[in-house]
Amino acid sequence: MEQIGKRMTKQKKVILDILRHTRSHPTADWIYAQARKVLPDISLGTVYRNLGVLRDAGEIMELNYGSTYSRYDGNPENHYHFVCLHCGRIVDLDMPLHKDLEREAEACGGGRILYHRLEFYGICPECNDQKEH
Amino acid sequence: MEQIGKRMTKQKKVILDILRHTRSHPTADWIYAQARKVLPDISLGTVYRNLGVLRDAGEIMELNYGSTYSRYDGNPENHYHFVCLHCGRIVDLDMPLHKDLEREAEACGGGRILYHRLEFYGICPECNDQKEH
DNA sequence: GTAGTTGCAAACTTTTTGCTACCCA
DNA sequence: TGGGTAGCAAAAAGTTTGCAACTAC
Protein backbone atom coordinates (compact mmCIF):
# COMPACT_ATOMS: atom_id res chain seq x y z
CA MET A 1 0.00 0.00 0.00
CA GLU A 2 1.05 3.51 -0.81
CA GLN A 3 2.83 4.99 2.17
CA ILE A 4 2.47 8.69 2.94
CA GLY A 5 3.50 9.97 6.33
CA LYS A 6 3.95 7.43 9.09
CA ARG A 7 0.62 5.63 8.91
CA MET A 8 -1.96 5.27 6.21
CA THR A 9 -5.22 5.74 8.07
CA LYS A 10 -8.61 5.40 6.46
CA GLN A 11 -9.14 9.12 7.02
CA LYS A 12 -6.00 10.04 5.10
CA LYS A 13 -6.89 7.60 2.33
CA VAL A 14 -10.37 9.05 1.90
CA ILE A 15 -9.11 12.64 1.78
CA LEU A 16 -6.47 11.80 -0.80
CA ASP A 17 -9.00 9.87 -2.83
CA ILE A 18 -11.41 12.81 -2.86
CA LEU A 19 -8.69 15.16 -4.04
CA ARG A 20 -7.48 12.83 -6.75
CA HIS A 21 -10.95 12.36 -8.14
CA THR A 22 -12.05 15.93 -8.52
CA ARG A 23 -11.08 18.49 -11.08
CA SER A 24 -12.25 21.32 -8.88
CA HIS A 25 -9.97 22.93 -6.35
CA PRO A 26 -11.95 22.45 -3.18
CA THR A 27 -11.77 24.14 0.20
CA ALA A 28 -11.08 22.22 3.39
CA ASP A 29 -14.74 22.56 4.25
CA TRP A 30 -15.92 20.97 1.01
CA ILE A 31 -13.46 18.11 1.46
CA TYR A 32 -14.77 17.68 4.99
CA ALA A 33 -18.36 17.46 3.72
CA GLN A 34 -17.40 14.88 1.10
CA ALA A 35 -15.36 12.83 3.56
CA ARG A 36 -18.28 12.68 5.97
CA LYS A 37 -20.31 10.85 3.36
CA VAL A 38 -17.83 7.99 3.72
CA LEU A 39 -16.70 8.48 7.31
CA PRO A 40 -19.52 10.25 9.15
CA ASP A 41 -17.45 10.73 12.30
CA ILE A 42 -14.42 12.34 10.71
CA SER A 43 -13.63 15.73 12.20
CA LEU A 44 -12.63 18.96 10.52
CA GLY A 45 -9.43 19.01 12.58
CA THR A 46 -8.44 15.67 11.10
CA VAL A 47 -9.11 16.99 7.61
CA TYR A 48 -6.83 19.96 8.23
CA ARG A 49 -4.15 17.79 9.80
CA ASN A 50 -4.14 15.38 6.90
CA LEU A 51 -4.19 18.12 4.30
CA GLY A 52 -1.06 19.45 5.97
CA VAL A 53 0.61 16.04 5.95
CA LEU A 54 -0.27 15.44 2.29
CA ARG A 55 0.96 18.90 1.33
CA ASP A 56 4.26 18.43 3.17
CA ALA A 57 4.68 15.04 1.50
CA GLY A 58 4.26 16.71 -1.90
CA GLU A 59 1.14 14.72 -2.73
CA ILE A 60 -1.14 17.73 -3.08
CA MET A 61 -0.82 21.50 -3.45
CA GLU A 62 -2.28 24.21 -1.29
CA LEU A 63 -3.49 27.28 -3.17
CA ASN A 64 -4.16 30.73 -1.70
CA TYR A 65 -5.48 32.86 -4.49
CA GLY A 66 -6.69 36.04 -2.93
CA SER A 67 -9.11 34.43 -0.55
CA THR A 68 -9.24 34.20 3.17
CA TYR A 69 -9.23 30.44 2.88
CA SER A 70 -7.09 27.83 1.13
CA ARG A 71 -8.01 25.58 -1.73
CA TYR A 72 -6.36 22.24 -2.41
CA ASP A 73 -5.23 20.69 -5.65
CA GLY A 74 -4.83 16.92 -5.99
CA ASN A 75 -2.31 17.37 -8.78
CA PRO A 76 1.09 18.01 -7.22
CA GLU A 77 2.83 18.71 -10.53
CA ASN A 78 3.36 22.40 -11.19
CA HIS A 79 0.71 23.72 -13.57
CA TYR A 80 -1.01 27.01 -14.23
CA HIS A 81 -4.48 28.14 -13.19
CA PHE A 82 -7.21 30.35 -14.48
CA VAL A 83 -9.32 32.10 -11.82
CA CYS A 84 -12.72 33.50 -12.75
CA LEU A 85 -13.22 36.89 -11.11
CA HIS A 86 -16.98 36.49 -11.38
CA CYS A 87 -17.76 33.01 -10.05
CA GLY A 88 -14.49 32.23 -8.29
CA ARG A 89 -13.97 28.99 -10.19
CA ILE A 90 -10.37 27.81 -10.57
CA VAL A 91 -9.54 25.86 -13.73
CA ASP A 92 -6.38 23.97 -14.64
CA LEU A 93 -4.75 25.18 -17.83
CA ASP A 94 -3.32 22.65 -20.22
CA MET A 95 -0.33 24.84 -20.98
CA PRO A 96 3.36 23.95 -20.98
CA LEU A 97 5.57 25.20 -18.14
CA HIS A 98 7.89 28.10 -18.83
CA LYS A 99 11.00 27.16 -16.91
CA ASP A 100 12.88 29.86 -18.79
CA LEU A 101 10.99 32.44 -16.71
CA GLU A 102 12.92 31.23 -13.67
CA ARG A 103 16.28 31.90 -15.29
CA GLU A 104 15.08 35.32 -16.33
CA ALA A 105 13.88 36.11 -12.81
CA GLU A 106 17.16 34.98 -11.26
CA ALA A 107 18.90 37.46 -13.52
CA CYS A 108 16.49 40.19 -12.42
CA GLY A 109 17.24 40.11 -8.72
CA GLY A 110 15.55 36.97 -7.45
CA GLY A 111 17.63 34.59 -5.37
CA ARG A 112 18.03 30.91 -6.12
CA ILE A 113 14.64 30.02 -7.59
CA LEU A 114 13.11 26.63 -6.93
CA TYR A 115 9.72 26.98 -8.60
CA HIS A 116 7.22 29.53 -9.80
CA ARG A 117 3.49 30.01 -9.84
CA LEU A 118 1.46 31.62 -12.55
CA GLU A 119 -2.24 32.44 -12.44
CA PHE A 120 -4.47 34.15 -14.92
CA TYR A 121 -7.49 36.18 -13.85
CA GLY A 122 -10.49 36.99 -15.97
CA ILE A 123 -14.02 35.92 -16.83
CA CYS A 124 -14.72 32.28 -17.65
CA PRO A 125 -16.78 31.37 -20.74
CA GLU A 126 -19.81 30.41 -18.63
CA CYS A 127 -19.94 33.74 -16.81
CA ASN A 128 -19.30 35.59 -20.04
CA ASP A 129 -22.30 33.91 -21.64
CA GLN A 130 -24.52 34.73 -18.69
CA LYS A 131 -23.73 38.41 -18.94
CA GLU A 132 -24.75 38.53 -22.56
CA HIS A 133 -28.24 37.13 -21.92
CA MET B 1 -6.06 67.05 -3.33
CA GLU B 2 -5.95 63.51 -4.60
CA GLN B 3 -9.40 61.99 -4.34
CA ILE B 4 -9.74 58.28 -3.55
CA GLY B 5 -13.07 56.95 -2.40
CA LYS B 6 -15.65 59.49 -1.22
CA ARG B 7 -13.63 61.34 1.36
CA MET B 8 -9.93 61.80 1.93
CA THR B 9 -9.51 61.43 5.66
CA LYS B 10 -6.24 61.85 7.47
CA GLN B 11 -6.32 58.13 8.28
CA LYS B 12 -6.58 57.14 4.63
CA LYS B 13 -3.84 59.58 3.72
CA VAL B 14 -1.44 58.21 6.33
CA ILE B 15 -2.05 54.59 5.28
CA LEU B 16 -1.48 55.37 1.62
CA ASP B 17 1.62 57.36 2.48
CA ILE B 18 3.07 54.46 4.47
CA LEU B 19 2.49 52.05 1.60
CA ARG B 20 3.97 54.37 -1.00
CA HIS B 21 7.13 54.89 1.02
CA THR B 22 8.11 51.33 1.76
CA ARG B 23 9.66 48.76 -0.49
CA SER B 24 8.57 45.94 1.79
CA HIS B 25 5.19 44.28 1.40
CA PRO B 26 3.77 44.83 4.86
CA THR B 27 0.94 43.15 6.71
CA ALA B 28 -2.11 45.06 7.98
CA ASP B 29 -0.68 44.80 11.47
CA TRP B 30 2.63 46.39 10.52
CA ILE B 31 0.81 49.20 8.73
CA TYR B 32 -1.32 49.67 11.84
CA ALA B 33 1.79 49.94 14.02
CA GLN B 34 3.35 52.50 11.67
CA ALA B 35 0.14 54.51 11.40
CA ARG B 36 -0.15 54.72 15.18
CA LYS B 37 3.14 56.59 15.29
CA VAL B 38 1.39 59.41 13.43
CA LEU B 39 -2.19 58.89 14.59
CA PRO B 40 -2.06 57.20 18.00
CA ASP B 41 -5.81 56.69 18.14
CA ILE B 42 -6.25 55.00 14.77
CA SER B 43 -7.90 51.60 15.06
CA LEU B 44 -7.07 48.35 13.30
CA GLY B 45 -10.59 48.22 11.87
CA THR B 46 -9.99 51.55 10.17
CA VAL B 47 -6.74 50.24 8.72
CA TYR B 48 -8.53 47.24 7.24
CA ARG B 49 -11.41 49.34 5.93
CA ASN B 50 -9.06 51.77 4.21
CA LEU B 51 -6.87 49.02 2.80
CA GLY B 52 -10.03 47.62 1.22
CA VAL B 53 -11.03 51.01 -0.19
CA LEU B 54 -7.54 51.63 -1.59
CA ARG B 55 -7.43 48.14 -3.09
CA ASP B 56 -10.84 48.55 -4.73
CA ALA B 57 -9.76 51.92 -6.09
CA GLY B 58 -6.74 50.28 -7.71
CA GLU B 59 -4.27 52.32 -5.66
CA ILE B 60 -2.63 49.35 -3.96
CA MET B 61 -2.48 45.57 -4.37
CA GLU B 62 -3.37 42.88 -1.88
CA LEU B 63 -1.08 39.83 -1.93
CA ASN B 64 -1.83 36.41 -0.48
CA TYR B 65 1.24 34.32 -1.08
CA GLY B 66 0.82 31.14 0.88
CA SER B 67 0.24 32.76 4.25
CA THR B 68 -2.71 32.99 6.53
CA TYR B 69 -2.59 36.78 6.28
CA SER B 70 -2.46 39.32 3.49
CA ARG B 71 0.35 41.61 2.54
CA TYR B 72 -0.09 44.92 0.76
CA ASP B 73 1.89 46.46 -2.07
CA GLY B 74 1.88 50.22 -2.64
CA ASN B 75 2.70 49.76 -6.31
CA PRO B 76 -0.54 49.08 -8.19
CA GLU B 77 1.18 48.37 -11.51
CA ASN B 78 1.42 44.68 -12.30
CA HIS B 79 4.89 43.37 -11.51
CA TYR B 80 6.40 40.08 -10.45
CA HIS B 81 7.56 38.99 -7.02
CA PHE B 82 10.17 36.77 -5.51
CA VAL B 83 9.21 35.05 -2.25
CA CYS B 84 11.93 33.64 0.02
CA LEU B 85 10.86 30.29 1.39
CA HIS B 86 13.25 30.69 4.31
CA CYS B 87 12.66 34.18 5.69
CA GLY B 88 9.32 34.96 4.02
CA ARG B 89 10.59 38.19 2.48
CA ILE B 90 8.83 39.36 -0.69
CA VAL B 91 10.93 41.26 -3.21
CA ASP B 92 9.85 43.14 -6.34
CA LEU B 93 11.52 41.89 -9.50
CA ASP B 94 12.65 44.38 -12.08
CA MET B 95 11.53 42.19 -14.94
CA PRO B 96 9.41 43.04 -17.96
CA LEU B 97 5.80 41.82 -18.12
CA HIS B 98 5.02 38.90 -20.39
CA LYS B 99 1.65 39.85 -21.82
CA ASP B 100 2.11 37.12 -24.43
CA LEU B 101 1.49 34.57 -21.67
CA GLU B 102 -2.11 35.79 -21.50
CA ARG B 103 -2.75 35.10 -25.16
CA GLU B 104 -1.20 31.67 -24.75
CA ALA B 105 -3.39 30.91 -21.74
CA GLU B 106 -6.55 32.03 -23.53
CA ALA B 107 -5.72 29.53 -26.24
CA CYS B 108 -5.24 26.82 -23.59
CA GLY B 109 -8.68 26.93 -22.05
CA GLY B 110 -8.73 30.11 -19.99
CA GLY B 111 -11.63 32.48 -20.52
CA ARG B 112 -11.23 36.15 -21.30
CA ILE B 113 -8.07 37.05 -19.41
CA LEU B 114 -7.71 40.45 -17.80
CA TYR B 115 -4.39 40.10 -16.00
CA HIS B 116 -1.97 37.57 -14.62
CA ARG B 117 0.20 37.10 -11.58
CA LEU B 118 3.57 35.48 -11.47
CA GLU B 119 5.60 34.67 -8.39
CA PHE B 120 8.92 32.95 -7.97
CA TYR B 121 9.78 30.96 -4.88
CA GLY B 122 13.24 30.13 -3.64
CA ILE B 123 15.98 31.19 -1.26
CA CYS B 124 17.09 34.82 -1.20
CA PRO B 125 20.80 35.70 -1.30
CA GLU B 126 20.84 36.70 2.39
CA CYS B 127 19.41 33.38 3.56
CA ASN B 128 21.66 31.49 1.19
CA ASP B 129 24.73 33.16 2.69
CA GLN B 130 23.60 32.36 6.22
CA LYS B 131 23.32 28.68 5.45
CA GLU B 132 26.88 28.54 4.19
CA HIS B 133 28.37 29.93 7.41
C1' DG C 1 2.61 -3.19 22.49
C1' DT C 2 3.22 1.42 21.25
C1' DA C 3 3.81 5.51 18.86
C1' DG C 4 1.10 7.94 15.62
C1' DT C 5 -3.53 9.46 14.74
C1' DT C 6 -8.33 10.53 15.78
C1' DG C 7 -12.49 13.13 17.56
C1' DC C 8 -13.82 16.72 20.19
C1' DA C 9 -13.82 21.18 21.74
C1' DA C 10 -11.56 25.10 22.98
C1' DA C 11 -8.20 28.46 21.49
C1' DC C 12 -6.05 31.33 18.18
C1' DT C 13 -5.33 34.58 14.27
C1' DT C 14 -6.81 37.49 10.93
C1' DT C 15 -10.43 40.08 9.17
C1' DT C 16 -15.15 41.94 9.28
C1' DT C 17 -19.01 44.30 11.24
C1' DG C 18 -22.57 46.98 14.23
C1' DC C 19 -23.00 51.02 16.46
C1' DT C 20 -22.58 55.76 18.01
C1' DA C 21 -19.92 59.86 17.59
C1' DC C 22 -17.41 62.59 14.61
C1' DC C 23 -15.83 65.31 10.69
C1' DC C 24 -14.99 66.22 5.57
C1' DA C 25 -17.03 68.30 1.62
C1' DT D 1 -25.56 70.15 7.48
C1' DG D 2 -25.63 65.44 6.23
C1' DG D 3 -23.79 61.28 4.94
C1' DG D 4 -19.42 58.90 4.78
C1' DT D 5 -15.96 57.49 8.09
C1' DA D 6 -13.72 56.72 12.68
C1' DG D 7 -13.06 54.26 17.02
C1' DC D 8 -14.28 50.60 19.80
C1' DA D 9 -15.37 46.12 20.80
C1' DA D 10 -17.67 42.07 19.74
C1' DA D 11 -18.25 38.58 16.18
C1' DA D 12 -17.10 35.95 12.20
C1' DA D 13 -14.36 32.86 9.57
C1' DG D 14 -10.77 29.79 8.92
C1' DT D 15 -7.31 27.13 11.00
C1' DT D 16 -4.62 25.13 14.80
C1' DT D 17 -3.98 22.66 19.08
C1' DG D 18 -4.31 19.96 23.72
C1' DC D 19 -5.82 15.83 25.34
C1' DA D 20 -7.68 11.27 26.24
C1' DA D 21 -9.10 7.34 23.48
C1' DC D 22 -8.15 4.58 19.66
C1' DT D 23 -5.63 2.01 15.98
C1' DA D 24 -2.22 0.79 12.32
C1' DC D 25 1.87 -1.46 12.09
- Residue % of chain B over a pLDDT of 70: 96
Start-to-end C-alpha separation, chain B: 52
Per-residue DSSP letter, B27: B
Query: Residue A42's pLDDT is what?
Result: 98
Torsion, CA A9, CA A11, CA A12, CA A14, rounded to 10: 120
Output the CATH code of domain A1-76: 1.10.10.10
At CA B48, angle to CA B24 and CA B119, rounded to 5?
A: 40
Gap from B74 CA to chain A (nearest CA, Å)? 17
Is the pLDDT reported for residue A133 higher than 60? no
The whole-angstrom separation of Cα A35 and Cα A71 is 16
Asked if B122's CB is within 8 angstroms of A112's CB, the reply is: yes
Query: Residue B1's pLDDT is what?
Result: 58
Residue-range domain boundaries for chain B: 1-76, 78-133
Flag whether residue A128 sits within 8 Å of chain B, measured between CB atoms. yes
pLDDT digits (tens, 9 = 90+) for A89-132: 899 999 999 999 999 999 987 789 999 999 999 999 988 887 66
The whole-angstrom separation of Cα B41 and Cα A115 is 43
Distance C4 C1' – A55 CA (angstroms): 18
The whole-angstrom separation of Cα A49 and Cα A15 is 11
Gap from A30 CA to chain B (nearest CA, Å)? 19
pLDDT digits (tens, 9 = 90+) for B78-117: 999 999 988 888 999 999 999 999 999 999 877 899 999 9
- Residue A111 sits at φ, ψ, to 5 deg, of -85, -140
Helices (runs of H) and strands (runs of E) counted in chain B: 5, 5
| Chain B partners within 8 Å of A119 (Cβ) | 116-117
The interaxial angle of helices B10-20 and B28-38, nearest 10 deg, is 120
Asked if A122's CB is within 8 angstroms of B112's CB, the reply is: yes
Output the CATH code of domain B78-133: 3.30.1490.190
The whole-angstrom separation of Cα A123 and Cα B11 is 34
Is the pLDDT reported for residue A20 higher than 60? yes
- Residue B26 sits at φ, ψ, to 5 deg, of -75, 160
Closest alpha carbon to C1' of C17, residue = B45
The mean pLDDT value for B45-55 works out to: 98
pTM for the structure as a whole = 0.90
Flag whether residue A55 sits within 8 Å of chain B, measured between CB atoms. no
